Chain A
Amino acid sequence: MITTAVTYDELADLIKRGAGVSVDPRELERASDTPFGILGLDSLGMLGIVGELENQYGTSLPPDTERCRTPQEFLDLVNSTLKAGA
């Protein structure tokens, strides 16, 4: 377990703060292949979450990170990027 991995709890918190959408982290994890759109997130909301993570970790995420369709896809990309940069 690497220390820089973003968890479902953190993602749920970012979604709440960034896009005003309340989602239970366990539910997010269980249904991790549910598209963000169905959760009520729009593209600007995703962009805000990416920006927040970049500021938090002091690194750039790949150009199309905000286009990830599902939580699973998103966390895989974010965490593999953070791991590669660590």
Chain B
Amino acid sequence: MSTKGMSSKGVNSRGRTRGSRAAITGIGVIAPNGLRADSYWKSVGEGLVVLDTISREGCDHLPLRVAGEVRGFDAAGLIEERFLVQTDRFSHFAMAAAALALDDAGIGRGAPEEPFDIGVVTAAGSGGGEFGQRELQKLWGQGPRYVGPYQSIAWFYAASTGQISIRGGFKGPCGVVASDEAGGLDAVAHAARAVRRGTGAVLVGGAEAPLAPYSMVCQLGYAELSTVEDPSRAYRPFTEAACGFVPAEGGAMLVVEDEHRARDRGAPVRAVVAGHAATFTGASRWDRSREGLAQAIRGALDEAGCAPEEIDVVFADAMGVPEADRAEAGAIADALGAHGSRVPVTAPKTGIGRAYCGAPVLDIAAAVFAMEHRLIPPTPNVYDICHDLDLVMSRARPAEPRTALVLSRGLMGSNAALVVRREDDSAR
């Protein structure tokens, strides 16, 4: 994204002014600590820890023991059977979160009046591993004639975008961002750009389902993965005891909408997507991510027209690997200057784990709630930090954040930063 894109003026076919701001008007969450956005926020605000021993079938013999599982998710009660049979759990989460986001935005679930005015963008880190495993087992166990045709769509990165679009009848610009965990932020930026170019609204976000045997085996090769068996010690970024990260299921979907469209239909503007930038510094090159992440922060601030001092809270990436944590603390200091050691920093994901591409979108959701509720949520399980950061620990801190910076990095080397702002005239 560039500032040029934001300032270009013109009128599109619907009479809307191009370059209008991208507002967040709906939030849908399916997370280990809540199956709705409001319950997720309640858990986050209280610093609830839901990391636990993995209980999903066929996983108990693997050395990855602790994760954030989405439990009590009633896929059959939320999604029509004809969509269920052709989709993986990661798409079930995304479809359910998308429906919740639409409800929250006050956009009906019926056929849209202007189908080409609504698009869908998701970020995906691995696709549908559980579905894929089941079909591959048929391939090797029974033969190619026993592999179901839905394998051809269910396990791909783009599956959730396609299914949300088909289910809702949304025919606007659609896409999938496969740019590592930070892609969750890149997807929101992509959606905001579509809105600035004239699309009315975009359903955007990410949800993942990495807790199935095949998917877990794929993750075992990550040096950054925590294999600690005690849930209270498995994921403690920014501490001397940092031992890697814990994965999680779930994610969030947002409705990012043209602010004028939102106001015209009387929908509250919860926040505005103000700026974003992304960089790449190589897989597991955490020392280099310092410069990359700092550059992403500078780019996001520049696009948002925001001075470092205006950042009221930072939602950290919090990888939980000493070298990566050091790089992140350094990036915050490099990009925000002296303000970097004063601004409150938080990482609610230590209570639920990292849901790959879903993780930064969950952080955006938490940032919006934090601004609305004037409360910075804590970083559970983290007590003594060894970096020069004002990390919010133990309990939530009352504050009046108006501008939040959300950071994300991926294991493959992507770094991204996104600025969300609460506006003075945000109706709430």
Is B a genuine binding partner of A?
yes
Chain B residues lying within 8 Å of A51, measured Cβ to Cβ, are 145-146, 148-149
Determine the residue in chain A with the shortest Cβ distance to B150: A44
CB distance from A64 to the nearest CB of B (A): 15
| C-alpha gap A21/B80 in the complex (Å) | 9
Chain B residues lying within 8 Å of A47, measured Cβ to Cβ, are 149
Chain A residues within 8 Å of chain B by Cβ, number: 13
| C-alpha gap A10/B82 in the complex (Å) | 18
B81 pairs with A20, CB closer than 8 A: yes
**At the interface, yes or no: B83 with Cβ under 8 Å from chain A?**
yes
B148 pairs with A20, CB closer than 8 A: no
Using A48-B148, A55-B146 as known contacts, say yes or no to A18 and B85 having CB atoms under 8 A apart: yes
Chain B residues lying within 8 Å of A19, measured Cβ to Cβ, are 82, 85-86
CB distance from A1 to the nearest CB of B (A): 28
| C-alpha gap A54/B147 in the complex (Å) | 12
Q: How many A-B residue pairs have CB under 8 A?
A: 35
| C-alpha gap A82/B76 in the complex (Å) | 36
Using A44-B150, A48-B150 as known contacts, say yes or no to A21 and B145 having CB atoms under 8 A apart: no
**At the interface, yes or no: B153 with Cβ under 8 Å from chain A?**
yes
**At the interface, yes or no: A7 with Cβ under 8 Å from chain B?**
no
**At the interface, yes or no: B394 with Cβ under 8 Å from chain A?**
no
A20 pairs with B149, CB closer than 8 A: no
A window 1-31: CB within 8 A of B: 18-22
CB distance from B167 to the nearest CB of A (A): 12
CB distance from A61 to the nearest CB of B (A): 12
**At the interface, yes or no: B283 with Cβ under 8 Å from chain A?**
no
B81 pairs with A44, CB closer than 8 A: no
Determine the residue in chain B with the shortest Cβ distance to A60: B145
B153 pairs with A20, CB closer than 8 A: no
Q: 1/0 per position for B260-293, CB-CB distance to A under 8 A?
A: 0000000000000000000000000000000000
CB distance from A16 to the nearest CB of B (A): 8
Number of chain B interface residues as a range: 10 to 19
| C-alpha gap A44/B163 in the complex (Å) | 14
**At the interface, yes or no: A37 with Cβ under 8 Å from chain B?**
no
CB distance from A43 to the nearest CB of B (A): 9
CB distance from A18 to the nearest CB of B (A): 7
Main secondary structure of the interface of A (DSSP, over half): helix
**At the interface, yes or no: B386 with Cβ under 8 Å from chain A?**
no
| C-alpha gap A19/B86 in the complex (Å) | 7
Residue of B86, B145, B146, B152 near A20 (CB, 8 A) is: B86
**At the interface, yes or no: B11 with Cβ under 8 Å from chain A?**
no
| C-alpha gap A47/B146 in the complex (Å) | 12
CB distance from B109 to the nearest CB of A (A): 17
**At the interface, yes or no: B84 with Cβ under 8 Å from chain A?**
yes
Q: 1/0 per position for A30-60, CB-CB distance to B under 8 A?
A: 0000000000100011011001001100000
Chain B residues lying within 8 Å of A45, measured Cβ to Cβ, are 82, 86, 149
CB distance from A86 to the nearest CB of B (A): 20
Chain B residues lying within 8 Å of A54, measured Cβ to Cβ, are 145
CB distance from A57 to the nearest CB of B (A): 12
Chain A residues lying within 8 Å of B149, measured Cβ to Cβ, are 44-45, 47-48, 51
Chain A residues lying within 8 Å of B148, measured Cβ to Cβ, are 18, 48, 51
Determine the residue in chain A with the shortest Cβ distance to B153: A44
Q: 1/0 per position for B68-98, CB-CB distance to A under 8 A?
A: 0000000000001111111000000000000
| C-alpha gap A84/B306 in the complex (Å) | 76
Question: Can you list 8 pairs linking A and B with CB atoms under 8 Å apart?
Answer: A18-B148, A19-B86, A20-B81, A20-B85, A21-B81, A47-B149, A48-B149, A51-B148
Beyond A19-B86, A20-B85, A55-B145, 9 additional contacts (C-beta under 8 Å) are: A19-B82, A20-B80, A20-B81, A20-B83, A21-B81, A21-B82, A45-B82, A45-B86, A55-B146
Residues of A within 8 A of B (CB): 18-22, 40, 44-45, 47-48, 51, 54-55
